[in-house]
Amino acid sequence: MIKKLVSTTLLGVVVMIGFSSQKAHALALPAILNFLPTVEVALPKSEAGPDGNNRFLWDYFSTSGPGGYLGSALWILDPAGNVIGTGDTMVPATVGGIAGAIAISFTQLHVNADNTTTLAFQFGGGPLLGGGGQISAFGTWTYNAQGKLIAFSGPTGFSTGLNKGLQIADMKFQGDHLVVTFQPANQPIGTGTITLGQGPYTVWVIDHFGNVVSTVGPQGPYTGYVLGSVTLSGSDSAPNQLWHWLSVTGTGAKQGFALSVQEFNSSGAALSGVVYGPFN
Amino acid sequence: MIPASFRTVLSLAAAFLVGVLVTWGLFERFSTKPAEASVSLTSPAPQVVASTSPTPPDESFVAEVKPSPTPSASASPESEVNDFPSGVTQSALNYNKELYKKYPGLQPPVINIDGRDLGQEALQRMQGPPTLLTNPGGVPLAPATPAPSPAQRSLALPFPFLNGSASATPTPSNQ
C-alpha cells in the first residue's frame, strides 16, 4: 500500500511536470522590420509643440459624386483649445487621399522643437492604403508657429518604371527629421512576409525645412539580407545613419536570424559594421 | 462503513493530488510573474465644445479657400530675427551642396527669407509634375543572382560573423 501511495504521488508529479510550461529552444527574430510601411498617414495629424499649442489638420472630402480628397487646412490651438492661428496656405487636393470607409489624406504632421510645423506628403497611398498604389514622390511644407508658410520642397522622386525606377518603401519622422527609404519599384513591400535579397536601398534624411541632410545608398541587394530599420545619430545638420539588416544564416540546426548593423556618415561613407547572432 | 476498495481508491487519489499540489507550489514559488498593472477606471471629464467650427469648402472647392474659424484669442505677433520671418534661421539656407551634386536636378527647398506670401509658389510647385531624378542604382540585381555579403563590399571595416549561441535567451556579444 505504501508503495502504491508513493508511486501514485510520483505519478502526480510527473503529470504536473508534463503539462507545465518548459523552456524551449526557439529562434530569436530582431524586431526591426516594418510590416506596416507608409501607413503613418493614417495616424492622427495632431501634435503639440514645446509652446504647448496644438497643431492639427482638417481634411476636406467631397460629399457628393464619387467623393474625393479636396485638401487640408492647418489649425493652431492654445492649451485651452482656443484657435490662435491657421495655416495661411491650404494643402491642395493633388497630395491625394482616400475617401471611403476610411478617410485619410496622404500627409504626415510633425511639430518641431522650434515650434514650426512640417507636413510631409507622400504622393500615392502606398500598397497598404491603396489610392494609387506605389508612392512615387514626396514633398514637405513648413509653417512657423503663427501658421505662416516659411518653406517648401518637392515633390521629388526617382525615375519611375518597373525596370529602373524607385518607389518610396517607407517614410516617417524621426525627431525633427523625415527619413525616406527608396527601393526598386518592381519589388513588393508591405506584403506581411519577409522577402530576402531585396534592394538596392537608398535612404534620405530631410531636415524640417526640406533640406536633404544625409544620403546613403544604393546599398545591396545582398543574398539573404533585407533592410529593416534606419535610425539616426550625430548632429542634426548632418546625421549619421544606422542601418539594421535582418539576415538568415546557418543551416540545419544552426539556422537562425541574425542582426547586421552598419553605420554610415551623412555622405554615405561606411563607418562600422557588426553582426549579432544567429541565436538558437 | 466505507468499503476497503473505495478507501484504497481515495488514498491513491489523495496521493496523486498531493503530488500535483506540491509540484505546482514549487513552480509558483520559483517562477517569475509579470507585475499586474493597476488600471484607472476614471473617465475623462467632458470638455466644453468650442463654439468655433470650420467652414468646409463647396464642391467647387478651390485650393485658396480657407476655413474661417472665429479666433477667440489672437496669435502672438510674428517676430523677426535677423530680418527673417519667425521660424526661419540662417541654417535653413546652408544646405549641403555636395549632397545635392550627387543627384543632378535635385533642388533645395524654397525658404521664405523676406516675409512674402509663399502660398502661390508652393501651390504651383505642388500641383505641377514632380522632379524625377535618375535612379542612382541603375538596374538592380535580380534576386536569384548571388550577391556578395556586406563583408565583401561597401564596408571599409571587417564584418565579423559570430558563432551561434546555445542559450535560449539571446545574449548580444560583439568582438
Confidence of residue A278 (pLDDT cuts 50, 70, 90): confident
Task: Note the pTM of the prediction, 2 decimals.
Answer: 0.73
Q: What is the pLDDT of residue A109?
A: 97
Tens-digit pLDDT profile for residues A81-119: 999 999 999 999 988 888 777 788 999 999 999 999 999
**Of A85-89, A128-132, A173-177, A243-247, which range is least confident?**
A128-132
pLDDT at A15 over 70: no
Confidence of residue A194 (pLDDT cuts 50, 70, 90): confident
Taking contacts as CB-CB distances below 8 angstroms, the residues of chain B near A90 are 63-66
Size of interface A-B (CB pairs under 8 A): 328
Which of A84, A209, A223, A254 is the mutation pick for testing B, counting most B CBs within 10 A? A209
CA gap A44, A257 in Å, rounded: 34
Q: Looking at residues B64-82, what average pLDDT do you find? A: 49
Tens-digit pLDDT profile for residues A238-248: 999 999 999 88
**B45 touching chain A per CB within 8 A:** no
**B9 touching chain A per CB within 8 A:** no
User: Cell for A256?
Assistant: 537562425
pLDDT at A183 over 60: yes
Question: Is the bond into B146 cis (omega within 30 degrees of 0)?
Answer: no
**B123 touching chain A per CB within 8 A:** yes
Tens-digit pLDDT profile for residues B84-139: 999 999 999 989 999 999 999 999 999 999 999 999 999 999 999 999 998 876 54
Tens-digit pLDDT profile for residues B140-156: 444 433 333 443 332 22
Tens-digit pLDDT profile for residues A257-266: 889 999 999 9
pLDDT at B50 over 60: no
Secondary structure, 3-state, A98-112:
EECCCEEECEEEEEC
Contact A256, A207 (CB under 8 A): no
Nearest CA in chain A to B48: A81
Percent residues over pLDDT 90 in chain B = 26
- Closest partner CB to B56 (pick from A60, A139, A254): A60
Percent residues over pLDDT 90 in chain A = 53
Q: Can you name the residues that pair with A158 across neighbouring β-strands?
A: B133
Amino acid identity, position A180: V
Highest mean pLDDT: which range of A47-56, B52-61, B149-158:
A47-56
Contacts of residue A268, defined as CB under 8 A and 6 or more positions apart, other chains included, come to: A215, A216, A217
CA gap B136, A215 in Å, rounded: 11
Cβ–Cβ gap B125/A115 under 8 Å? no
pLDDT at B173 over 60: no
Q: What is the pLDDT of residue A45?
A: 94
Do β-strands A149-158 and B131-133 pair in parallel, antiparallel, or remain unpaired? parallel
Comparison of pLDDT for A42 and A1, the residue scoring more? A42
Highest mean pLDDT: which range of A8-22, A197-211, B23-37, B141-155:
A197-211
User: Cell for A13?
Assistant: 508529479
CA gap A252, A63 in Å, rounded: 58
For residue A245, the distance in angstroms to the closest alpha carbon of chain B comes to: 10
User: Cell for B48?
Assistant: 466644453
Taking contacts as CB-CB distances below 8 angstroms, the residues of chain B near A70 are 57, 61
Taking contacts as CB-CB distances below 8 angstroms, the residues of chain B near A68 are none
pLDDT at A79 over 70: yes
**A178 touching chain B per CB within 8 A:** no
**A118 touching chain B per CB within 8 A:** no
pLDDT, averaged across chain A: 87
Q: What is the pLDDT of residue B49?
A: 40
pLDDT at B158 over 50: no
**ipTM score assigned to the predicted complex:** 0.85
For residue A77, the distance in angstroms to the closest alpha carbon of chain B comes to: 9
Cβ–Cβ gap B69/A9 under 8 Å? no
pLDDT at B63 over 60: no
Q: What is the pLDDT of residue B68?
A: 53
